């Protein structure tokens, strides 16, 4: 399968050496660490719309699993060209070049293109900053900038980023249809889909390390979302668990997730990858549950104090 790269030589002839550093910095807008940071901040800060923020978090994790599986299904290499050789740069910026402007692994479709599409368009849909049109224009500009940086650096063909954006948009359309059908369960559906996509990625990638780590993370995040909901239901008098189907389902989900993570972190501790997957799952559960539980405790505290203030 030829994906073409004819125009790259002409671009490399006119591009200055410092362009590789600039493009490398731009491409960080689509790196997992940066996307995870902004989605995490949005989740912790979204006290009034946390269910939608949890759905965005689930979409991000599901997107990571989706791109992991697709790369292994197609198994197409990256271009064998670079914009600037590291040795041609000053020694002071060579570490920055290696950290920001290089890539390994399979190239089709582009993970940066798919993930920026999933995350930035999801945030544009669910955030309340500015107008909807402004949010979508910003998302489109960020996705375009990251895609151009990947092609400009020589780590992807143009068709790779186009396919990444296309798959990301198709994924979002299907996801939003499901979320809009069950608007009160967006967090559960988003994080539940993340578990399903992670399991598929493990199967299609022949247990690639990234897929295994994503499986543990998604299981933990799903359990972390269910635990506060279970606690709130019991506190509101919707129990006992054995007489309430929704609470029973949440309890089973939490127990299954906890058992899975316990197996990964204890029984398989001699296997570093499985142990790391379990540890990431526990961390994800704590990350997802903590702000919900804190906000619930704060509301209860304020509710108890309100009568005394009125006297």
| The 3-state secondary structure of 248-296, one letter per residue | HHHHHHHHHHHHHHHHHHHHCCCCHHHHHHHHHHHHHHHHHHHHHHHHH
Which has more confidence, 255 or 218? 218
- As a whole number of angstroms, the distance between CA 15 and CA 151 comes to 13
Please report the pLDDT score of residue 262 as a whole number: 62
Residue-averaged pLDDT of the chain: 80
Closest CA to 61 of 205, 191, 202, 208: 191
Cα Rg, the chain, nearest whole Å: 22
DSSP element (H, E) containing 49 = none
DSSP state of 17: T
pLDDT in tens, 173-209: 999 999 999 888 898 899 999 999 999 999 999 889 8
Please report the pLDDT score of residue 268 as a whole number: 47
**Strand intervals (E) in 24-172:** none
- Euclidean distance between the first and the last CA atom of the chain, given in angstroms as a whole number: 77
Q: What is the DSSP string of 215-238?
A: HHHHHHHHHHHHHHHHHHHHHTT-
Rounded to two decimals, the pTM is: 0.83
Please report the pLDDT score of residue 127 as a whole number: 85
What's the helix, strand, coil split of the chain in %, to 5? 80, 0, 20
SS3 190: helix
Q: Are 108 and 160 in contact (CB under 8 A)?
A: yes
Look at 30-34, 86-90, 101-105, 205-209 and tell me which has the smallest mean pLDDT: 86-90
Please report the pLDDT score of residue 105 as a whole number: 87
At residue 128 the predicted structure's pLDDT band, cuts being 50, 70 and 90, is: confident
Please report the pLDDT score of residue 302 as a whole number: 40
Interacting residues of 247 by C-beta distance below 8 A, sequence separation 6+:
230, 233, 234, 238, 239, 240, 241
Q: Are 120 and 143 in contact (CB under 8 A)?
A: yes
| Cβ density class 214-229: b for 16+ within 10 Å, e for less | bbbbbbbbbbbbbbbb
SS3 109: coil
Closest CA to 252 of 210, 307, 192: 192
Please report the pLDDT score of residue 82 as a whole number: 65
∠ CA 76-208-150, rounded to 5°: 45
Locate 83 and state its tokens. 């914009």
Closest CA to 127 of 36, 32, 224, 38: 38
pLDDT in tens, 270-310: 567 777 787 888 899 889 988 887 765 444 444 455 554 44
pLDDT in tens, 40-90: 999 998 877 888 999 999 999 999 999 999 999 998 988 877 666 666 666
- As a whole number of angstroms, the distance between CA 113 and CA 91 comes to 30
């Amino acid at each position: 399968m030829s994906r073409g790269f004819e125009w790259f030589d002409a671009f490399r002839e006119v591009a200055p050496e410092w362009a590789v550093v600039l493009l490398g910095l731009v491409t960080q807008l689509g790196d997992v660490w940066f996307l995870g940071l902004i989605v995490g901040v949005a989740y912790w800060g979204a006290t009034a719309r946390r269910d939608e923020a949890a759905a965005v978090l689930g979409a991000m994790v599901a997107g990571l699993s989706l791109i992991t599986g697709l790369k292994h299904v197609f198994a197409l290499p990256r271009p064998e060209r670079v914009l600037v050789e590291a040795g041609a740069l000053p020694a002071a910026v060579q570490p920055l070049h290696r950290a920001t402007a290089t890539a390994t692994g399979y190239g089709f479709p582009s993970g940066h293109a798919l993930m920026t599409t999933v995350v930035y368009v999801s945030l544009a849909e669910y955030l309340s900053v500015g107008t909807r049109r402004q949010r979508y224009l910003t998302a489109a500009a960020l996705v375009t900038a990251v895609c151009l940086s990947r092609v400009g650096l020589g780590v992807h063909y143009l068709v790779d980023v186009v396919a990444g954006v296309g798959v990301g948009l198709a994924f979002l359309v299907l996801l939003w249809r499901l979320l809009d059908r069950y608007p009160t369960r967006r967090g559960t559906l988003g994080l539940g889909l993340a578990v399903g996509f992670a399991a598929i990625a493990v199967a299609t990638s022949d247990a690639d390390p990234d897929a295994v780590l994503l499986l543990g993370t998604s299981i933990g995040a799903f359990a972390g979302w269910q635990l506060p909901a279970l606690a709130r239901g019991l506190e509101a008098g919707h129990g006992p668990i054995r007489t309430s189907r929704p609470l029973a389902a949440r309890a089973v989900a939490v127990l299954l997730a906890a058992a899975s993570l316990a197996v990964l972190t204890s029984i398989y501790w001699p296997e570093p990858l499985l142990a790391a997957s379990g540890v990431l799952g526990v961390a994800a559960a704590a990350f997802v549950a903590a702000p919900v539980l804190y906000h619930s405790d704060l509301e209860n505290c304020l509710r108890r104090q309100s009568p005394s203030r009125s006297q």
